[in-house]
């Protein structure tokens, strides 16, 4: 079954998501503050019309922006879309946000007769473009049902985490805690190894076959070996996402010392001008502090 879908936010994740929704046969609109992204998507077959004009026709509004304030602005800002949506349509909120924020957005959408799916995404831009994301979703059965054509088009795996908005965002926060810590740990271990004569190449060959491996290590260590910091996922994601984790943790009076330590390393990377590089560039902070030269450095 095809739907009328709008994807709001055509960044590295949103653009791929819009492509996947379109490829699956849905009428798909793409919107962004960057007009180039919008016209590029139109050129690939995106449906025409301004957001205000088409809002009332949409079945699914996927919000693929950076964070909670941007999500709230899209939904309930001065020109917010929820007030214009038809009853029974669904907002699919994909940004990494605090669980409490998701619950609040759901309540406000519900007042307007619109369903809300708390649906943070995982997998990176390549999987977004191929329709193979992991989505950590929670919401009422009606929200899942209304979102189904969108989920089918964009996700390989949908974790259905219950009826309560916030559960999806909670699981995403847990996953981001681990992913961020594991990237920093990979960088720490690889550069520590260099001080002991273990080359990055040997590290990347041996450790994935040992108990010290992680998904992030297997994915990111090759970037350092290749000296290639093209941002698949950038350093600046982590001060944001680990910041969300620590905000939530603080509200729950939960101490998270490893997360806090990892955040400091990403802040040092961002503060020293590496924010737009691939997140594996956190290794440069360690290397600089230890007087080491990573592969590809002069």
**Catalytic residue set:** 172
Per-residue interface string for the shown chain with its own copies, residues 5-44, x marking contact by CB under 8 A: ----------------------------------------
**Could you give the strand order of the β-sheet that contains 133-137, starting from the edge strand earlier in sequence?**
121-122, 133-137, 155-160
Q: Which is nearer to its own copies, 11 or 193 (CB)?
A: 193
**Minimum separation from the CB atom of position 219 to its own copies (A):** 7
Q: Which is nearer to its own copies, 9 or 168 (CB)?
A: 168
- Site for its own copies contains 101 (CB under 8 A): no
How far, in Å, CA of 186 to CA of 205, rounded?
13
Q: Which stretch binds its own copies (CB under 8 A): 16-24, 27-35, 54-62, 194-202?
A: 194-202
Choose among 177, 181, 175: nearest CA to 120: 175
Which of residues 101, 150, 159, 229 is near its own copies by CB under 8 A?
Answer: 159
Per-residue interface string for the shown chain with its own copies, residues 225-264, x marking contact by CB under 8 A: --------------------x--xx--xxxxxxxxxxx-x
Choose among 47, 66, 69: nearest CA to 58: 47
The residue with tokens 């909120």 is 93
Q: Which stretch binds its own copies (CB under 8 A): 15-23, 86-94, 147-155, 284-292?
A: 284-292
> 59 vs 5, 63, 195, CA distance in Å?
6, 13, 56
Choose among 103, 104, 112, 121: nearest CA to 165: 103
Interface positions, 37-66, toward its own copies (CB under 8 A): none
Q: Which residues 6+ apart lie within 8 Å of 54 measured at CB?
A: 4, 6, 29, 47
| Contact between residue 294 and residue 287 where contact means Cβ atoms under 8 Å apart | yes
Residues near its own copies (CB under 8 A): 99, 122-123, 134, 136, 157, 159, 161, 164, 166-167, 170-171, 173-179, 181-182, 184-186, 188-193, 195-198, 202-203, 206-207, 209-217, 219, 245, 248-249, 252-262, 264-265, 286, 289-291
């Amino acid at each position: 079954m095809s739907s009328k879908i709008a994807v709001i936010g055509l960044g590295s994740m949103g653009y791929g998501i819009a492509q996947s929704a379109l490829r699956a046969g849905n009428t798909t609109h793409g919107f962004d503050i960057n007009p180039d992204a919008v016209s590029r998507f139109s050129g690939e077959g995106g449906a025409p019309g301004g957001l205000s004009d088409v809002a009332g026709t949409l079945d699914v509004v996927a919000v693929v922006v950076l964070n909670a304030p941007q999500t709230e602005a899209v939904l309930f800002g001065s020109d917010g879309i929820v007030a214009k949506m038809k009853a029974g349509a669904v907002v699919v909120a994909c940004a990494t946000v605090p669980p409490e924020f998701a619950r609040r957005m759901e309540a406000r959408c519900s007042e307007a007769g619109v369903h809300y799916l708390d649906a943070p995404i995982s997998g990176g831009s390549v999987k977004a473009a191929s329709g193979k994301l992991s989505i950590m979703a929670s919401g009422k059965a009606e929200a899942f049902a209304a979102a189904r054509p969108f989920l089918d088009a964009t996700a390989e795996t949908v974790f259905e985490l219950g009826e309560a908005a916030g559960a999806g965002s909670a699981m995403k926060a847990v996953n981001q805690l681990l992913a961020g810590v594991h990237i920093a740990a990979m960088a720490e271990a690889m550069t520590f190894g260099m001080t002991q004569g273990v080359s990055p190449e040997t590290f990347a060959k041996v450790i994935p076959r040992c108990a010290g491996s992680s998904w992030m290590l297997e994915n990111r260590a090759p970037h350092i070996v290749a000296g290639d910091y093209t941002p698949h996922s950038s350093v600046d994601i982590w001060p944001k996402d680990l910041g969300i984790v620590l905000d939530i943790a603080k509200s729950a009076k939960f101490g998270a010392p490893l997360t806090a330590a990892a955040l400091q390393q990403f802040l040092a990377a961002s503060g020293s001008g590496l924010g737009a590089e691939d997140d594996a560039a956190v290794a440069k902070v360690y290397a600089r502090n230890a007087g080491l030269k990573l592969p590809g450095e002069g």
